[in-house]
A and B are shown apart, each in its own frame.
Chain A
Amino acid sequence: MKRSSLVGRYALISPAAILIFVFMLLPMLLMALMSWLEAGQFGGVKWGSYTPEAYLKFLFDRDLSDHLVFNTDYLSIFSRSFQLAGITTFLTLLTAFPVAFYIALQTPKHRTWLMLLITIPFWTNLLVRTYAWILLLRNGGLIDSSLHSLGVLNTPINAMYTPIAVQIGLVYAFLPFMVLPIYTSLEKLDWRLLEAAYDLYANRWQTMRRIVIPLAAPGMVAGCILVFVPALGTFFIPELLGGAKTLMIGNLIQQQFGVSRNWPFGAALSFALLAVVLMFMLIYALRFRGKGSLTQ
């Protein structure tokens, strides 16, 4: 009886297991393998010839006499990406929390409508919406021309193709991903706890800091992960709004599989990114398990 139930259990989880294997594990293994291979001349890889070249390329250049020379070009793209993604996470957190809090305070009927408004941007393609930002940000665009006609400015704003434009695009694109999980955790909040805190002499700010924020923390962490990780990997927002000057890791990886035709390097970059992201998540997971909550 025990045996058959065990078999039954394996049979039950096998579709999910197969799915995960085929669509997640297998491509990852393929990428890992690829990152240790030599690049093919016209893209692709040379199967069977192994080399650490792709990982070396990340930190070093080869000079004419084939010596390794330390090169920070790719590192600086990495650090810029982390900076942009980090600032995006911070700014979306800062703006999403009040929005989510406000929505959670409304009557259930109002909440549904407001959440619908938050999700409306998902109905159109992000690419299209990013193009729309070009119309807003470019010289002679909506912002530029209205600032001029209001007399606030008489030089062009030159906002396009700057890190700031990329930053605006990123915050815009990922804001809903922060609002949703924070709202979900605030919606579950027992508002009587706020009354209890008031009763125990906590003012509004103290109640926010000691009760609301700790209880919304799981949602905030989820939101941060949902924003930070994909923000790190985006490539068309920096490409459209930042031009060639504001490359992010995503662009770099995409180039390796495209114009540069260096698949192993692209795979190695992906793995470097994966390693760093996993490290971040591990730190968060350990912090959470160790303390149970974010307070004291």
Chain B
Amino acid sequence: MTALANAIVIDNIGMVFGAGLGAVRALDGVSLEIGSNEFFTLLGPSGCGKTTLLRLIAGFEQPSTGSISLYGQRLEGLMPFERPVNTVFQSYALFPHMSVAQNIAFGLEMQRKPRLEVQKIVADMLELVQLTGFEARKPAQLSGGQQQRVALARALANRPKVLLLDESLSALDAKLRKEMQLELKRLQLETGITFVFVTHDQEEALTMSDRIAVMKNGKLEQIGTPTEIYDFPRSRYVADFIGETNFLTGIAEANGLRLPDSQWLEVTHSRPPGSSVDVAVRPERAQIARDTNGLNAVVREVVYVGTDTVVYLEIAKEVFRVRMQNHGGAAKMVSVGDQIKLVIPPNAVRILEAES
């Protein structure tokens, strides 16, 4: 990767709030490189430091340690208004005394854009977020989702090099959310803006991102493309956070694991024999069969979820989910209480890192 391809370089950032006993370590040794025009997502549970990382990039907070560069320029000492970065705030932070149109125009006016251009951009942005006709309203006269869209429009209007979005679609209903997701993706392809997107919705992260960073307690747990993260989760934490997963624990032997109930799970691994190994299996990668080689399991529950059926099995005293598509008709074969065979292809088994 050449130096220019990186829009943002975050180098070993640490962030501590407060001092002494009350100190909170919000970020700990975070290093990241975000490519130009990349759609990069920070994913993690509440309180893991996502907003803090965005605030450091935007310049509202100074890192305790480490440094951040934007297109090769170090950001230390630059005020937020000196950075080519715009933020869509988690709390929206719309100006209550200004109309929707004045809110959206604010950044452009501060950059002394010509009046006509400002008006045109404001109209375009309102159309983009489907709020044409709301120009004169005050933020207090808008619903939560509408406010969020104004916040989005206000930041996007400036066409910044880097756009920071802090859970910026969270207040929208499913349909509008899908539409906005598509719009954001379209904008990314059209404008060359680098998106840093914060969410704790893993599905949104998977559909929109070029790459995802999964965070845990102020640290980066794993960075990768959505497929990498989904198919090759490094740890139990990542596998659990992204999508549905089955976990099994066994004792390592050559070419497989011995499960607690003495059944044999075939998988290639490099762990020393005798060590305890966690593995993850996605529900859609396992199958149910009769009269073949497989693990013995008992059907505990069958749940119909539209296109799929989820079968809950009991194996080695653990619950194991298998997701089957309905159109094949396979789901009809099983009913609660059946003794069946669970078939897990060796390439569907992910060896997880031992928890630290």
- Whether a CB of chain A sits under 8 angstroms from the CB of B110 is yes
Does A200 make an interface contact (CB < 8 A)?
yes
Residue among B58, B93, B110 making CB contact with A193, cutoff 8 Å: B93
B89 touches A192 (CB 8 A): yes
* Chain B minimum-CB-distance residue to A206: B110
Interfacial residues of chain B within 218-263, with CB under 8 A of chain A in the complex? none
Q: Do the beta carbons of A215 and B154 come within 8 Å of each other? A: no
A198 to B94, CA, bound (A): 13
Q: List CB contacts (< 8 Å) of A180-204 with chain B.
A: 190, 192-193, 195-203
**Among candidates B60, B85, B94, residue contacting A195 with C-beta atoms closer than 8 Å:** B60
Residue of B nearest to A203 (CB): B81
Complex alpha-carbon distance, A215 and B93, angstroms: 14
Number of interface residues of A (CB under 8 A): 21
Cβ–Cβ contact B110 & A202, under 8 A:
yes
Cβ-neighbour of A199 out of B58, B102, B111 (below 8 A): B58
A211 interfacial by beta-carbon distance below 8 Å: yes
Let me know if A200 and B79 touch, CB within 8 A: no
B79 and A196 contacting across the interface, CB-CB below 8 Å = no
Residue B194, interface by CB 8 Å: no
A289 to chain B, nearest CB (A): 15
Q: Of A196, A206, A296, which contacts B95 at CB under 8 A?
A: A196
CA A214 – CA B138 in complex, angstroms? 14
A210 near B: Cβ within 8 Å? yes
CA gap between A192 and B81 in the complex, in Å: 14
Q: Is A199 in contact with B98, judged by CB distance below 8 angstroms? A: no
Please state if A200 and B107 are interface contacts (CB–CB under 8 Å).
Answer: yes
> B274 contacts which chain A residues (CB < 8 A)?
none
What residues on B are CB-neighbors of A197 within 8 Å?
A: 95, 106
- In the complex, chain A residues whose CB is within 8 Å of the CB of B58: 199
What are 10 A-to-B residue pairs whose CB atoms are below 8 Å? A193-B95, A196-B95, A198-B81, A199-B58, A199-B60, A199-B89, A201-B158, A202-B110, A211-B95, A214-B97
- Taking beta carbons and an 8 Å cutoff, which residues of B are in contact with A? 58-60, 79-81, 85-87, 89, 91, 93-98, 102, 106-107, 110-111, 138, 154-155, 158
- Additional 5 contacts, C-beta under 8 A, given A192-B91, A198-B59, A200-B86: A192-B89, A193-B95, A200-B106, A200-B107, A201-B111
For the complex of A and B, the 10 pairs showing the least CB-CB separation, nearest first, are A200-B107, A196-B93, A198-B80, A201-B110, A293-B97, A192-B93, A202-B110, A201-B81, A199-B87, A198-B81
